[in-house]
Structure 1
């Protein structure tokens, strides 16, 4: 069965199948062996083909946050029915939710600011790692729940969006 996994703004179709030492990732015309292993010291290692990479992973529902080689990635599984609903109704997230407990390091927006999908909204810190949170869609900042330096729990609503004023076309 093909699944959709959204990484940043790009959606990828992929399939996973079991393998003796983990899984096989079927992506386009490639098949790669993949495995995730946690050591006794708490370190997590991702194997992709012949490469072994140290990673930090946090999950929230269908979202997976991965810190790898100094970069942060957000992966989101999208159920096929949700994908169809979003395509037909144009719906999008109205809230930016904390993927893990942390604190606000920087705010790049204010209430009333118009933002575009992918625009940086804030930077948070958790376990001495910074994660940049971006706008899930175009809109206007309706609320900012936490100020710079404030701490929050996982799943806290950090910012809320409302639709932009419709633009008239001539």
Structure 2
């Protein structure tokens, strides 16, 4: 299952291709071998990525990481796919995180969903991803069916608006 990281405002998809004999990460579709993963914790670190020695500094700042590498500073944070402002869309919409095609539809209009429950499975760059409901609610509409294509940030499902108390 891919992990989404936000690096200076841009979302990147990261998956672990393998752990042995060396860690191999797939970042935005490109493989990177990490021969010497750094120890956990703040401070100056060293790791080997491919044939390169990479020195960097890391500091934890709440739910974010500040990384200084190659003379530049980056802010890194995990993207919570279930948060209303996350990649999944707003509280009432389910948006495509990248262009692709619908592989299967798990829910239909009128179905009740729980936050995080799979609604639609998509495929992008030969990777299948289940898109979760952004909150508890009722599906208002599924805008794309099996085999249909979509663009990045296109709304592919909606939830009925939350009732105002």
TM-score, normalising length: structure 2: 0.48
TM-score, normalising length: structure 1: 0.47
Q: Which has the higher helix share?
A: 1
